[in-house]
Amino acid sequence: MKKFLSLLLALLMVVSVCVGLVACNPSEEDPGKTETPNKPNENEKDPNEPNKPQEPVRIELKFPEEYNFSDNGTAASFHILQWSVDQEDQAGTAWIPWEEGDVSMDDGDLISKQILERNSVAEYKYGVEITAEYKGVNAGYVDRVKSDHMTSANEIQLLTIRSLGAWELVDSEYLTDMNVYSDQNILHTEQPWWVQDAVASYTLGESLYVCATEMLLRDKGATTAMYFNPSIAEDHGLDDFYAMVEDGTWTWEAMLEAAETVGSSTDGNDLMDSVEDMWGVQGSDDDTHMLYNALGFLYAHIDEDGFVVYDLGETDESITILIDIHEDFHYADWNTNRIDNKLVGGEDVEDIFTIDRALFKTASCVKTAVTKLRNMNTDYGILPMPKLTEEQENYSSLVWVHHDCVLGIPAATANPEMSAVILEVLSYEGYYEVTPVLYDTILYGRAAKTAEAKRSLEIIFETRSYDPGQYWDDPAGLQDKLLRLCNEGTSDIQSLIAQYIGQTEEEIKKVNEFVEKKYDEE
């Protein structure tokens, strides 16, 4: 009897362990599912902690066959060409605080460590050796791509591309249609390690030549935001901006009212011209596009057939909003941008916010907090750009094309299937292993110093937005003229559009003729 009971007890223990293992290990997920279950003890978390996104359950990455690209034990070369800034053929500039593919970054930084580990997974499992080089966007980047294409050198397997220059590579047919490998179940563009708004915005016809995935870091850093000084807000009796963001009342009018309340001459000459004055906003010309997007507008959209439709001027409201941005914001007495980034005595406007002399600072990149603000002596807060009205459903945080990054597979690469497989693996591993660390350690840790700021930053990343009108139009055309208009002290949007709309229509026509040509070839 004792022996029987002992056997029965042992059996029950085995069953209990097995049940526990089943409960702790989710069943194999279908690649089409992206469900995220609640964490254990979710209701017992510290109420002072921000409501950070839950870590996703890892979906199994499925390929149609087993891949290994080594040749008799020798790893295949997987070389990434990365765009760098202007004349600099190197990493680590102020524009680019992180590099996506570099494998020589063992500098003690946690992000560098995660990138190295991500790359190691791809190298070990698939028999490749990942290397990287840099070319300045104005110092030979396109020539490097063209040379590899024309000579069939096949040295480059993957490109990181400044999105502002993507069309030149697409139009020259230097890039592979990645949807070919989506159809072959190698690239899973519907999965969360592909940025879904980017997939929609970069699709031309039925083709996808460039896109953003979770392999990338610079696209996160290129997300727009607004910073504020909590001490100045409190001193002037302003409402809680974080509460306004949460309840949907952080609007254009609310932001203007707060900036006007703070902006005042405090140096005794009744003029807004000195670092001794108190400014409402430390602004820049980038704000034109950032605010236009935040207030609910796009310069263009992609229709259901994959053609680019230019929207500026199609409604009177789109013109009115741009005029308001200039007259009510750029040229307000309390905005430093109206004095062309210099104050009396030549002081640099960049110093105004960091020395506690401005309520708000607009930023074309979230990375501003990482590269410029983290050493401030006082705390700062972070907000999404404001909505137009409370009725606008969501905030909108533009991914800024001047700093943004997309990926492309060279058309000349000797093994495009290898390029697709490794791109997918790096994106997949990046989604689970790099991006969470980027948010938690770099952004949530350095760019935001309070639970409320972290929640606000979370909203910014949840509402990231791409505008097709910014990268499928000529970057030196109407888009740039609208951007620079505020430096000319005028808000004559109608005349500017009348002068350049013909050029814009021609550029969009070229893109759509390209789409039509691809349809005809199918």
Would you write out the chain's pLDDT as a tens digit for each of its 522 residues?
444 434 333 433 433 433 343 333 333 344 433 333 333 333 344 444 444 455 668 999 999 999 999 999 899 999 999 888 766 666 655 555 566 776 665 666 788 889 999 999 999 999 999 998 888 888 889 999 999 888 877 899 999 999 988 999 999 999 999 999 999 999 999 999 999 999 999 999 999 999 999 999 888 988 999 999 999 999 999 999 999 999 999 999 999 999 999 999 987 788 888 888 999 999 888 999 999 999 999 999 999 999 999 999 888 899 999 999 999 999 999 998 766 556 655 566 667 898 899 999 997 788 877 777 877 888 899 999 999 999 999 999 999 888 889 999 999 898 999 999 999 999 999 999 999 988 888 788 878 878 899 999 999 999 999 999 998 987 778 888 998 888 888 889 999 999 999 999 999 999 999 999 999 987
Position 479 scores a pLDDT of 85
List Cβ neighbours of 104 (8 Å cut-off, separation of 6 or more).
132
List Cβ neighbours of 141 (8 Å cut-off, separation of 6 or more).
81, 83, 84, 135, 162, 165
Tokens 């016809």 belong to 205
Query: DSSP letters of 68-128?
Result: ---BTTBPEEEEEEEEESTT--SS--SS-SS-SS-S---SS-HHHHHHHHHHHHHHHHHTE
Crossing angle of helices 493-521 and 316-324, in 10° steps, is 130
Q: How many CB atoms lie within 10 A of CB 239?
A: 13
Position 90 scores a pLDDT of 64
d(CA 41, CA 57): 17
d(CA 342, CA 324): 23
Position 171 scores a pLDDT of 94
Crossing angle of helices 287-294 and 316-324, in 10° steps, is 130
Position 96 scores a pLDDT of 57
